[in-house]
Amino acid sequence: MTAIREQISAYVDANAGRLVEELQRFLRQPSISTVNQGMEECVDMLREELEGLGLKTELLQVEGAFPAVFARSPKKGEKKELFVYNHYDVQDPDPLDQWQSDPFGAEIRDGYVYARGATDDKGNLYANMKALEVLKELLGEVPPGIKLFVEGEEEIGSPNLERYLSRFADELHADGAVACDRGVHESGRPQMYLGCKGMVRAEISCHRAKRDVHSGQAPLIPNAAWDLVRLLNSMMDENHHITIPGYLDAVLPPTEEELALIGTVPMDLGDYKTEYAVDRLVCGDKDGEELVKELLYRPTCNISGIKSGWTGERGKTIVPCDAWVRLDLRLIKDMTAEDAAKRLEEFVKASPYGPFEVTAVPSIPPYKVPPNDELVQLAGRLAKEVYGRDPVVWPYLDGTAPFGLFPRYIGGDIFVIGLGAPFATANTHAPNENISIEQYLTGIKYMANIFYEYLC
């Protein structure tokens, strides 16, 4: 262990009690973007603490959006600049009756801090801030070239993120970038994600008779629900492969480097089925590496909501006149959201089961960082040294994030480092969200080492 690594670890260990108490204080401040609860107060708290570290701190604002907090230290000479993304807003804590303690009480039980935002994303954010504190105490100043960008709208879909990035691109520009959101792996190993899937959001509806009709007329009256079901069924074959013409033409298979990463990702078929209480998977009983490939490299066309007809407690025999469905379609490299949305709309409009009304919105492009990226390699090496275990490195998130926007405006590639609790136990977006004290303190040590080696 190098001298600076020993000093970082010793400082965190010596100040562990205070570092946890300060996290609790931060978690006790609500910041619910969906209902605008505590947002201004949380921004004030962040600004005060970041300025206390000696960072130049300002509120970036665009019309109609919650402010983003931007804090930076001056660049020195030819040294690099590092952009760090977090968000200060949290999900609504409802349902409150399922929490074992106040969601903004930050109660400690058995070594875990329970609070809304503990892992998503205030625990990650605060670990980064405290990592800078550690280095300031050890070096006399915060490392040069750090740029912390903390938005307040992630939990409502980051609707204004691109406006922020485009308007303030010159100030935000950096050589490399990391997003600290999510947690360590369920095995306790550190965890990184090198990309994310893109997304198209779509809604399809149909209207048949002028009103719902007595189902005695079913031999004659078109049923909107059946027409929509037939359309949806025509989008997938019996193996759950998307059948929209041309939709999959641009899909890139995993590279040799990515296949090597996939082979290191722990994933057990039996454990997975037990976790979700299912007796079969869409892809069949694949295990290990093949299961990971299915999860990460298969584009999806998912029904996330559907409604038609009568769904009350007692029966009502009708032929529904209306039917509606909401879809989300996740994309991988080298698909584009614009092409996928266009092909979906063309397929729906040409359906023999129509007519249908369709709206497909190309919201987020797929994105991927190569495993040999300099900052990825550094983060992987330091993860092993700090945690004492090889990191789990995922070529993709199983979900979607707006990471493709960042290189377009700030220059540097971006990937995800998880500092919080594992997804299976963090209760993210659910009651009793948590982070362990060990996860939080180790995250501080890890990020302090990354900041030091990349910037100093």
**What is the Cα–Cα distance from 371 to 391, expressed in whole angstroms?**
13
Structure tokens belonging to residue 349: 């409009």
Confidence of residue 364 (pLDDT cuts 50, 70, 90): confident
pLDDT average, residue stretch 255-265:
91
The full set of domains in the chain, from first to last, is 3-196+366-455 (3.40.630.10), 198-251+299-364 (3.30.70.360)
Is a pLDDT exceeding 90 seen at residue 188?
Answer: yes
Higher pLDDT, 18 or 313: 18
**What is the Cα–Cα distance from 213 to 202, expressed in whole angstroms?**
28
Confidence of residue 313 (pLDDT cuts 50, 70, 90): confident
pLDDT at 398: 86
pLDDT average, residue stretch 241-248:
96
DSSP-derived letter for residue 271 is H
Rg (CA), the chain: 24
Share of the chain above pLDDT 70, in %: 100
pLDDT average, residue stretch 79-98:
97
Per-residue pLDDT reduced to its tens digit, 198-239: 999 999 999 999 999 999 999 999 999 999 999 999 999 988
pLDDT average, residue stretch 362-386:
94
pLDDT average, residue stretch 168-186:
96
Q: 199 has which bridge partners?
A: 330, 364
User: Within a 10 A sphere around the Cβ of 51, how many other Cβ atoms?
Assistant: 13
Higher pLDDT, 401 or 207: 207
Q: What is the mean pLDDT of the chain?
A: 95
Is a pLDDT exceeding 70 seen at residue 395?
Answer: yes
pLDDT at 214: 97
pLDDT at 400: 86
pLDDT at 275: 84
pLDDT at 213: 97
pTM, entire model? 0.89
Give residues with Cβ within 8 angstroms of 105, minimum separation 6.
Answer: 28, 114, 115
Confidence of residue 375 (pLDDT cuts 50, 70, 90): very high
pLDDT average, residue stretch 351-364:
95
pLDDT average, residue stretch 107-132:
98
Share of the chain above pLDDT 90, in %: 91
Structure tokens belonging to residue 444: 């501080």
Q: Cite the DSSP H helix spans in 282-371.
A: 288-297, 337-349
Per-residue pLDDT reduced to its tens digit, 3-62: 999 999 999 999 999 999 999 999 999 999 999 999 999 999 999 999 999 999 999 999
What phi, psi does 356 have (nearest 5°)? -130, 155
**What is the Cα–Cα distance from 406 to 82, expressed in whole angstroms?**
12
pLDDT average, residue stretch 377-406:
93
Q: Half-sphere exposure of 5 toward its Cβ, with a 13 Å CA cutoff? A: 14
Per-residue pLDDT reduced to its tens digit, 266-287: 989 998 899 889 999 999 888 8
pLDDT at 1: 64
Q: Is 107 helix (H, G, I), strand (E, B) or coil?
A: strand
pLDDT at 316: 93
